[in-house]
């Protein structure tokens, strides 16, 4: 049975905000090359991770300026299509697999759903689009029709990354209002061919609210690791440093940097 290798959880500040995306791509490529699964967990300072589709908004700059005024940095990610919030109360998680382990998009999503459900057996987690959440998708994860997580996938070389943002604690309604206002400002001219979400701030909820107690990112990571240990799919190890891996990480970092420099120059 394939084992996952977990690395320490990282918190990223504005100074190194491109790094988690580069690390995820590096792990995903290495998953295919080394025939090994990886887990990458991380959080950030207040950040809105924009999708490539968001750049089609008629008043995109106006929306981005609003986010900056609210104290949120912005970045264009390399997977997924629409805006999501990341901050110290949000857990970002990637499972990276060799591509032969994931025969369909649904299978990749199901692996993450099964892991999350096993980690929170007291919750009944369902998959299905929450249309009035931010970044809605067919594999939104929800409890009682309120979204707790969004999933995306990305392929890099012979690796597949299944990615999730999970709302652990903090004011989720305020996060929803932030993205609601962003789209209201940025879509003020109705000339797009793509329909952007009409965000309802009450459509999403945190794990802490559902459990009716303050829950932390560390507690969540420990629960995830426990389930992988029980299923004998978990081991800890150190990331092997080499010039080749450092070079790969730098390439991925530069790719994210160039994408976002081009964005900012276009605003």
Residue, of 176 and 39, whose pLDDT is higher: 176
Strands 47-50, 73-76: pairing is parallel
| Helix pair 172-186, 60-69: axis angle to 10 deg | 150
What is d(CA 151, CA 243) in angstroms, rounded to the nearest whole number?
Answer: 32
Whether 30 sits among the annotated catalytic residues: the reply is: no
The predicted-structure confidence for 173-183, as pLDDT tens digits, reads as follows 999 999 999 99
For tokens 């750049």, name the residue.
55
Kindly report whether the global pTM for this prediction surpasses the value 0.95: no
Average pLDDT over residues 218-240: 74
pLDDT at 234 over 60: no
Q: 50: which DSSP letter?
A: E
User: What one-character-per-residue DSSP string does 74-126 give?
Assistant: EEE-SS-SS-EEESTTEEEEEEEEEGGG--SHHHHHHHHHHHHHHH-TTS--E
Residue 179 lies in a domain: no
Q: Which residues have C-beta within 8 Å of that of residue 254, sequence separation ≥ 6?
A: none
**CATH number of the domain where residue 34 is located:** 3.30.930.10
Residue 17 lies in a domain: yes
Residue 189 lies in a domain: no
Please report the pLDDT score of residue 103 as a whole number.
Answer: 85
At residue 26 the predicted structure's pLDDT band, cuts being 50, 70 and 90, is confident
What is d(CA 174, CA 115) in angstroms, rounded to the nearest whole number?
Answer: 28
* Nearest by Cα to 177 from 93, 83, 263, 267: 83
At residue 265 the predicted structure's pLDDT band, cuts being 50, 70 and 90, is low
* Nearest by Cα to 29 from 20, 41, 38: 38
Phi-psi region of 172 (alpha: psi -120 to 50; beta: other; left: phi over 0): alpha
Residue 188 lies in a domain: no
| Strand ranges in the chain using DSSP code E only, listed in sequence order | 4-6, 10-12, 37-44, 47-50, 73-76, 84-86, 90-98, 126-127, 141-143, 146-156, 159-167, 234-236
Average pLDDT over residues 238-255: 64
pLDDT at 190 over 90: no
Segments forming the whole domain that contains residue 220: 4-123+150-165+214-266
What is d(CA 84, CA 76) in angstroms, rounded to the nearest whole number?
Answer: 11
Catalytic residue among 50, 79, 84, 135: 135
pLDDT at 256 over 90: no
Residue 173 lies in a domain: no
The count of domains in the chain is: 1
Residue 183 lies in a domain: no
Mean pLDDT of the chain: 87
Residue 82 lies in a domain: yes
Residue 225 lies in a domain: yes
The mean-pLDDT minimum among 14-18, 86-90, 96-100, 150-154 falls in 14-18
Please report the pLDDT score of residue 209 as a whole number.
Answer: 98
Say what percent of the chain tops pLDDT 90. 55
């Amino acid at each position: 049975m394939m084992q996952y290798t977990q690395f320490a959880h990282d918190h990223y500040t504005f100074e190194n905000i491109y790094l988690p995306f580069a690390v995820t791509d590096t792990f995903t490529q290495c998953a295919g090359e080394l025939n090994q699964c990886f887990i990458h967990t991380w959080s950030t300072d207040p950040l809105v991770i924009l999708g490539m589709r968001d750049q089609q908004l008629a008043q995109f700059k106006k929306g981005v300026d609003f986010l900056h005024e609210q104290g949120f940095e912005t970045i264009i990610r390399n997977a997924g299509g629409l805006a999501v919030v990341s901050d110290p109360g949000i857990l970002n998680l990637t499972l990276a697999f060799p591509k032969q382990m994931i025969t369909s998009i649904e299978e990749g999503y199901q692996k993450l759903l099964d892991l999350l459900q096993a980690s929170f057996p007291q919750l009944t987690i369902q998959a299905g689009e929450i249309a009035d959440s931010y970044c809605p998708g067919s594999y939104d994860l929800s409890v009682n029709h309120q979204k707790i997580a969004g999933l995306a996938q990305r392929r890099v070389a012979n690796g597949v990354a299944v990615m999730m943002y999970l709302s652990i604690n903090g004011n989720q309604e305020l996060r929803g209002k932030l993205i609601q206002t962003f789209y209201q400002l940025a879509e003020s001219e109705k000339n797009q061919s793509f329909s952007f979400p009409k965000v309802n701030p009450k459509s999403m909820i945190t794990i802490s609210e559902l459990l009716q107690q303050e829950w932390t990112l560390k507690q969540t990571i420990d629960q995830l690791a426990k389930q992988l240990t029980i299923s004998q799919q978990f081991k800890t190890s150190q990331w092997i440093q080499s010039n080749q891996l450092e070079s790969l990480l730098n390439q991925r970092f530069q790719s994210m940097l160039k994408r976002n420099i081009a964005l900012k120059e276009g605003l």
